[in-house]
Structure 1
Amino acid sequence: MEYISTRGKVGGIGFVDAVLMGLADDGGLLVPKQIPQVSADTLSLWQKLSYSELALEVFSLYIDGEIPRGELKKLVNDSYATFRDEEVTPVRRLNDKLHVLELFHGPTFAFKDIALQFLGNLYSYISRERNSIIHILGATSGDTGASAIEGVRGKEGIRICILHPHGKVSKVQELQMTTVDDANVLNLSVEGNFDDCQRIIKELFADVEFKHRYHLRAINSINIARILAQTVYYFYAYFQLVNQGISGKVNFSVPTGNFGDIFAGYLAKKMGLPINKLILATNENNILERFINEGVYQPGEFHMTYSPSMDIQVASNFERYLYYLHGEDANTVTTFMDSFKQDGKIVIAADKLEQVKRDFVAYGVENDECLATIGQSHDEYGYLLDPHTACGVAAAEKLTDKGEVTVALSTAHPAKFNEAIELIQIEQTFPPQIQALFDKPQHQILVDGSNNAVKEQLLKFF
């Protein structure tokens, strides 16, 4: 399997080199040269597999023997042995039309663990096999940072630096990152918002000389391994419904900020999984909803919401979708991204907008509706949603038609966002792993939102 850049100037590289490159050296994002196709017969066989067995089959299509199957199986098994539920990503029924896919049973109680437990073990494997230095650099709106740190803390040959927006993540998210005292971990609290953190990361990776000199590796969803790992639970959730005797059209409703999670669903559909609708749920930072409805991609006024992990204006995976929307034409994508950098805006043609509307439907959830959905689910089903999942459930309730079943992705445990839960007078019991965080000292450095301030800290750390 070869990987190529959405901007056309990087190609012919294998899976491991694609993982190590992260952001393509031409500034684009890496994608597989061909998307593997999964037949109906193969889907039928996969339906009987455990989560780890299924992950092995999906990864094998994209790794294509580059990692020996026995080694890959061990990486997969080690990655998902850390999850608290034997199903890894169980599906819970709320009513006849709505199910919840629980993606929060990993070490940090967030869906990011599913990809980052694997990527952490993969980086450790690569470091050993190639005797190479792995310096991981990432930005987080809350969950990626804790999951990435948990995936590599204390591992030989790996150092990790995570940027998070100062004061704009939940307290539990902050504690999960900053109470880690391993010598190979650095937390930078950046004055600004997540988009500032993400911009710094992408610009540092775009400095190819700096990137190679300091062996920078990506942990954000710009790394193709993240996307591939997330496709697995779309297949697994679909199979769980089929195994429960549920037939008919199956939708997925995805709380979305950086477009990575829903792009994984788009990729699964292109592979052959019979997904009906991909429902894109946003909060008040609804740039993606506007794009799907109007064909205009343009950041607007930034809003802090009760779902802070989705408080994102510039979605780093959006470029991958643009690439497929425009027939894998790298020149068109390059023109769009150059225009966006200059004018802060992308407008697609009317015929392309019609395709977008066939690929996705979207709904933006405001703060009050988010809280109301949490309260309603708690009252009607005895099921407590975190505020991001609540956005997905609210969108599912709006956009699920007769004869359809929707699986809403539950991206985090509600204990991670108690600030929102408390507003509607619901008391919850924290899992002991989270409760213990409040008694630990924190380790973080406050920096201004400039490339130079971050570079200075990286040079000391690396």
Structure 2
Amino acid sequence: MRYISTRGEAPALGFEDVLLTGLATDGGLYVPESLPHFSVEEIRSWRGLPYAELAYKVMYPFVEDAIPADDFRKMLGETYSVFSHQAVAPLVQLDTNEWVMELFRGPTLAFKDFALQLLGRLLDYVLEKRKQHVVIMGATSGDTGSAAIEGCRRCEHVDIFILHPYQRVSEVQRRQMTTVQGDNIHNIAVKGNFDDCQRMVKESFGNQSFLGGKTQLAAVNSINWARIMAQIVYYFQASLALGGPDRSMAFSVPTGNFGDIFAGYLAKKMGLPISQLVIATNRNDILHRFMSGNKYEQHQLEHTLSPSMDIMVSSNFERLLFDLHGRDGAAVKDLLERAAKGPVSIEDYRWKHARKLFDSDAVDDKTTCDTIRDIYEKNEYLLDPHTAIGVRAARNCRRDSTVPMITLGTAHPAKFPDAISESGLVVKPQLPAHMADLFEREERYTVLDNNVSEVQGFIAKHWKNA
């Protein structure tokens, strides 16, 4: 399988190179040249498979040119054995035909573990094979950073530099990153917002001269195709558990960078019957404004109780735009260049095509807290603020009550105690046993100005072989 850029000018690459490259040389994102497609009969035959084996069935077509089947199976078995629930992604029922899929049973209590536990193993495998060293540079709005560090910290051929917005992630999220010890782990708190951090990462991938030609950058953000690939699996898992593929499913996805919901879109294109995907977002509602009114316009980024979604430039949205424009890279490049200068729309027929599958909603902090309280009072089930937004958006946008609606539960509520407190509940979510001493562990991070040269200088100075 070959991978092509959404901007049409970079060379096509194989899986190994896409894994290590992240951003394409033309500034675009890599996507498969073609997708595998599974028949209803084949998907039905997967019912009852353990999660790791289902992951093998869904993902192996993407990597088969690079990794032998037995090696990939072993990698997946190791990846999902560290999750705290035998089902890996268990479903919890909230109401008639309404479910939450718990994607926070991994080591860092967020859905990012599904991809980043695998990504660390993929990097180890490929870098050992190539006898190559890379520098991971990533930006996080809260959860990617800790999942990346946990997934990659044992990699022998990797230095990790994670940028997070200073004082704009929850304390639990910050401590999960900054208390992990290791000579190859570096946390940078940037005096700016997530979009500033993400911009620095993109600029650095576009011009890596600050590394002096001695190494290269690798991506852990959801611009890395391997992240998207791993997230496709749990859509199949949820569907199979609730009667799919013989019935259609609807999913509501708390959405910041658009990667998680794009994986659902790909699952549908690969043959899984999905009738609706709900983009669930907070006050930083650029995707909702586009999907509801065909206007893509950046506003001032606001700080909310759901910080992992405090994003205005959703990188993976480019991958959807690529498909909506008939995979015309030049058209996507032109659109995004215009979007950087002001509001843009796409042709009405393209937008209406997207609306056949996608709905959207923006949920403010008060409604988020109201939803946390309401679900707890009726079910004794505690939602984190991001999942609460997903549940509220699902209820506001649901098209057909006979179709199971599954909200992706993206994080453990213990990561966001302020939101739980503001909801008026007296219950205090507890961290699991392996994190019980989190607030006693020593932190280590560096605060830097919102300046890409300063950040690049720090990386150039501190990677292992600098």
Aligned to 1:28: 28
- Alpha carbons 1:387, 1:420 under 8 Å: kept: yes
The residue aligned with 1:313 is 312
Note the aligned Cα RMSD (angstroms).
1.4
Q: What secondary structure does 1:167 align onto?
A: coil
Match of 2:378 among 358, 377, 380: 380
Asked if structure 1 preserves the Cα contact closer than 8 Å seen for 2:15 and 2:65, the reply is no
**How many angstroms does 1:57 deviate by?**
1.3
- How far 1:431 sits from its partner (Å)? 1.8
Q: How many residues align?
A: 459
Deviations 1:110-142 (A, max 9, x none): 000000000011111111111010211100000
Post-superposition Cα deviations, 1:350-409, rounded to whole Å, max 9, x if no partner, equal: 111111211300011111110000001100011000000000000111122332220000
Deviates most, 414-423 or 149-158: 149-158
Amino acid at match of 2:135: H
Structure 1 residue aligned with 2:188: 188
| 1:44-82 deviation line (CA, Å, top 9, x unaligned) | 112231110011111211113320011111111111111
Is the 2:373–2:425 Cα contact (8 Å) retained in structure 1?
no
The answer to whether the 8 Å contact 2:210/2:457 transfers is no
Aligned to 1:416: 415
Q: Distance between the aligned counterparts of 2:65 and 2:445, measured in 1?
A: 40
Matches within 5 A, 1:277-356: 277-341=276-340, 343-356=341-354
Tell me how far apart the structure 1 counterparts of residues 357 and 230 of structure 2 sit (CA, whole Å): 21
> Secondary structure of the equivalent of 2:138?
strand
Instruction: Report the Cα distance in structure 2 between the residues aligned to 1:303 and 1:22, rounded to whole angstroms.
Output: 28
Given that residues 133 and 157 in structure 1 are in contact (C-alpha distance below 8 angstroms), is that contact kept between their aligned partners in structure 2?
A: yes
Using the size of structure 2 for normalisation, the TM-score is 0.96
Q: Which amino acid aligns with 1:116?
A: L
Q: 2:307 & 2:376 partners in 1: Cα distance? A: 21
Can you give the 5+ residue segments of structure 1 that lack an aligned partner in the other structure? none
Deviations 1:269-310 (A, max 9, x none): 111110110011000110000000111111112211110100
1:242 matches 2:246? no
Quick check: 1:39–1:272 contact (8 Å CA) kept in 2? yes
Specify the alignment match of 2:436 in structure 1: 435
Aligned to 1:203: 203
8 Å contact from structure 2 (residues 255, 280) kept in 1 = yes
Counterpart for residue 2 of structure 2: 2
- After TM superposition, the structure 1 stretch with the greater mean CA deviation from structure 2, 164-173 or 354-363, is 354-363
Once the two structures are TM-superposed, the CA of residue 213 in structure 1 deviates from its matched residue by 4.5
Structure 1 residue 143, shift from structure 2 partner: 0.1
Contact 2:139 2:201 in 1 (8 A): yes
Once the two structures are superposed, the pairs formed by residues 88-167 of structure 1 within 5 Å of their partners are 88-167=88-167
Deviation at 1:207, TM superposition (A): 1.0
Distance 2:237 2:127 in 1: 30
Shift of 1:242: 1.4
Say whether the 8 Å CA contact 1:172–1:434 is kept in structure 2. Answer: no
In the alignment, is the contact (CA less than 8 A) between 1:248 and 1:403 conserved in 2? no
Per the alignment, in what secondary structure is the counterpart of residue 408 of structure 1?
strand
| Greater displacement, 225-234 / 65-74 | 65-74
Instruction: Give 3-state SS (helix, strand or coil) of 1:114's partner.
Output: helix
* Aligned twin of 1:80: 80
Q: Secondary structure in 1 aligned to 2:242?
A: helix
* SS of match in other structure, 2:361: strand
Q: Give the secondary-structure state (helix, strand or coil) at the position aligned to 2:404.
A: strand
Amino acid at match of 1:297: Y
Partner of 2:391: 393
Cα distance in 2 for residues equivalent to 1:247 and 1:273: 10
Alpha-carbon distance in structure 1 between the residues aligned to 2:342 and 2:111: 30
1:230 and 2:231 aligned: yes
Cα separation, 2, equivalents of 1:248 and 1:239: 9
Contact 2:196 2:450 in 1 (8 A): yes
Alignment-mate amino acid for residue 389 of structure 1: T
Q: Is the counterpart of residue 359 in structure 1 residue 360 in structure 2?
A: no
Distance 2:418 2:170 in 1: 7
Query: Identity of counterpart residues, as a percentage?
Result: 45
Match of 1:177 in 2: 177
Letter of the 1:201 partner, please give it: V
SS across alignment from 2:416: helix
Q: Which amino acid aligns with 2:378?
A: E
| Aligned residue in 2 for 1:403 | 402
> Residue 457 of structure 1 aligns with which residue?
458
Q: Is the contact between residue 252 and residue 409 of structure 1 (CA under 8 Å) also seen in structure 2?
A: yes
State the secondary structure of the residue aligned to 2:161: strand
Residue identity in the other structure for 1:305: T
Q: Distance in 1 between matches of 2:70 and 2:154?
A: 25
Partner of 1:221: 222
Corresponding residue of 2:267 = 268
**Contact 2:132–2:157 (Cα < 8 Å) also in 1:** yes
Aligned partners of 1:321 and 1:270: how far apart in 2?
12
* 2:5 and 2:12 in contact (8 A); partners too: no
The answer to which of 126-135 and 371-380 deviates more is: 126-135
- 2:13 — aligned with what? 13
Write the distance in 2 (CA, Å) between the matches of 1:268 and 1:7: 23
Matches of 2:445 and 2:217, distance apart in 1? 20
8 A contact 2:141–2:164 mirrored in 1: yes
Instruction: List runs of 5+ in structure 2 lacking aligned partners.
Output: none
